[in-house]
Amino acid sequence: MKSISLDFENAFPQGTTVMGIDEAGRGPLAGPVFAAAVSAPLDAAAELLTGPWSAINDSKKLSEKKRDVLAEVIKATPSCVWAVASASALEIDQNNILRATHIAMRRAALALAESISGTNHEPRTTNHEPRTTSFAILVDGLAVPTLPFPSRNVVKGDAKSLFIAAASILAKTSRDAYCVEMEAKYPGYGFAVHKGYPTAAHMEALNRLGPCPEHRQSFGPVAEAAFFRPH
């Protein structure tokens, strides 16, 4: 049963610009991890929930075709502000996948805030203190300590919060589109089909062709394929 609502969005003080954030692509062996941030005025969001956005749900519960349609609906909604960001395979190798995911989330949050206020909110100090408290974040899953604004984590938030669910759709569709680009650039791996996940077809191609520049070299199967492939 669908349980998407605005209960979490409405929990912040009146006048706060609330954004939902979610990620896509932590598990694949190749490509960036993506994050998306979505916001809308809460009075407008209440109408969206029962209108144009009524079909929005956790992206994992939607078909690829439905996700693509809803992504375009979200992007075309006049009252909606959204941003998509990523952290590359190299950044994943340098930081580990969890930290890289947090980097992508932070970038998405800052990009959305800048698009609303026209101000770069990136702190100039190292303590991650935000310059403003007018923004607040709902983030799917566990708490993310490096987000630039006050935040609340919501476990399984992509099935509960309208903004997080919308963000999950944009993150997933953006990453899938990038995987199609990867397939064109590095043919033979099947990225357009398996999206970088460790399917049998992907593992066969990885062992046959060796890793490409988009593969996450710090991930065990990729490192193993690189080590055992004849030179």
Q: What is the mean pLDDT of residues 74-89?
A: 97
Res 125: pLDDT:
43
Q: Where are the domains of the chain?
A: 9-177, 183-228
The two structure tokens encoding residue 101: 């995911």
The C-alpha atoms of residue 179 and residue 86 are separated, in whole angstroms, by 13
Closest to 35 (Cα-Cα) out of 78, 79, 85, 72: 85
Cα–Cα separations (whole angstroms), residue 49 to 70, 115, 166: 13, 23, 11
**Least confident residue range of 1-5, 77-81, 144-148:** 1-5
Q: What is the mean pLDDT of residues 38-58?
A: 97
Cα–Cα separations (whole angstroms), residue 19 to 16, 31, 34, 136, 180: 10, 25, 16, 6, 28
Q: What is the mean pLDDT of residues 119-141?
A: 68
Q: What is the mean pLDDT of residues 163-187?
A: 98
The structure's pTM equals 0.92
**Least confident residue range of 116-120, 161-165, 218-222:** 116-120
Contact at 8 Å (CB) between 164 and 22? Answer: yes
pLDDT grade for 228, boundaries at 50, 70 and 90: low
Name which CATH class applies to 9-177.
alpha beta
pLDDT grade for 118, boundaries at 50, 70 and 90: confident
Closest to 22 (Cα-Cα) out of 60, 72, 69, 52: 60
Q: What is the mean pLDDT of residues 27-53?
A: 97
